[in-house]
């Protein structure tokens, strides 16, 4: 009975993405505090970039999550970085946090996911 109750508490999260430059591969990640800004997020997906896209993560436990999106124009699966590790690929993060003297902070990007379905809209170039 406890397992059934835990399964019912999982939440669907949909990430709708728009881009004016639909080339390469679009990568989307749903990250918790521990995995934010690294590539090992619990929920990940990728698909050929299109002007409008939708990614669905069906079984997300309630809690604090952040969405990270990056477009890979070369479709090589690698995030190119410049000086000081700054991404050279187009990127976007939920709630559009500012990066001041380092990467964006999780607290500025986090979404509070409850038991109701969530829709996150992100625009990326």
DSSP 51-117: SEEEEEEEEEPSEEEEEEEEEETT-SS---B-GGG-B-S-EEETT----SSSSPPHHHH-EEE-SS-
Q: What is the CATH number of domain 2-124?
A: 2.60.40.10
Where do the domains of the chain lie? 2-124
pLDDT tens digit string along 26-76?
A: 999 999 999 999 878 999 999 999 999 999 999 999 999 999 999 999 999
Confirm if 118 and 102 have CB atoms less than 8 A apart. Answer: no
Read off the pLDDT band of 101 (50, 70, 90): confident
**Residues paired with 17 in a beta bridge:** 53, 122
Q: pTM to 2 decimals? A: 0.89
């Amino acid at each position: 009975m406890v397992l059934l109750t835990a399964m019912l508490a999982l939440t669907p999260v949909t990430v709708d993405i728009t881009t004016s430059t639909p080339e390469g591969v679009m990568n989307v990640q749903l990250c918790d505090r521990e995995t934010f800004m690294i590539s090992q997020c619990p929920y990940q997906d990728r698909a050929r970039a299109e002007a409008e896209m939708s990614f669905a993560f069906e079984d997300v436990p309630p809690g604090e999550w952040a969405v990270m999106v990056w477009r890979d124009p070369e479709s090589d699966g690698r995030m190119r970085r410049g000086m000081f590790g700054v991404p050279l690929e187009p990127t976007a993060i939920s709630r559009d946090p500012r990066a001041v003297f380092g990467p964006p902070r999780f607290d500025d990007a986090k979404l509070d996911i409850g038991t109701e379905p969530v829709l996150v809209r992100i625009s990326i170039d």
